[in-house]
Structure 1
Amino acid sequence: MLRWTIIFLVIALVAAIFGFTGVMVAAAGIAKVIFTIFVILFLLSLIFGRKKL
């Protein structure tokens, strides 16, 4: 999932360099949403993934 975030971030940066503002905003928004989901799932796996001995 983190790979998709980086891909959309690179797309947003390339689009910003070439002046495609619509594509840049969309790709940056998608990257932000995917990164947020990744962080939430990571934190949940840390909390609920602990095994009691």
Structure 2
Amino acid sequence: MKAILKKFISNANIKMLSSFATFALVITTVASNQRCWYVLHEEKLPENAKKLRKF
């Protein structure tokens, strides 16, 4: 029973972390194609984010 529960938790963690990674990629893509979301502050995007731009 413990092995089944441990395997279930491990699979759930992998799925959750891969969902977070996908969400981060989507947010980075959206942020690289839009103007600044904050009025007074705009951080520089990392160099790797430039290849996600569409223009």
> Shorter chain as normaliser: what TM range?
0.5 to 0.7
Structure 2 residue ranges without an equivalent (≥5)? 37-55
Task: Give the ranges of 4+ consecutive aligned residues of structure 1 lying more than 6 Å apart after TM superposition.
Answer: none
Deviations 1:5-52 (A, max 9, x none): xxxxxxxxxxxxxx8101100000000000010000001100112324
Counterpart residue identity of residue 13, structure 2: A
TM-score norm. by structure 1 comes to: 0.56
Q: Answer 1 or 2: which has greater helix percent.
A: 1
> Root-mean-square deviation (CA), in Å?
2.0
Higher RCO (C-alpha under 8 Å, 6+ residues apart): 1
Q: Of the two, which has the highest radius of gyration?
A: 2
Identity of aligned residues (%): 6
Aligned residues: 35
Q: 1:31 aligns with which of 4, 8, 13?
A: 13
Q: 2:22 aligns with which of 16, 37, 40?
A: 40
Structure 1 residue ranges without an equivalent (≥5)? 1-18
Which residue of 1 is the match for residue 31 of structure 2? 49
TM-score norm. by structure 2 comes to: 0.54
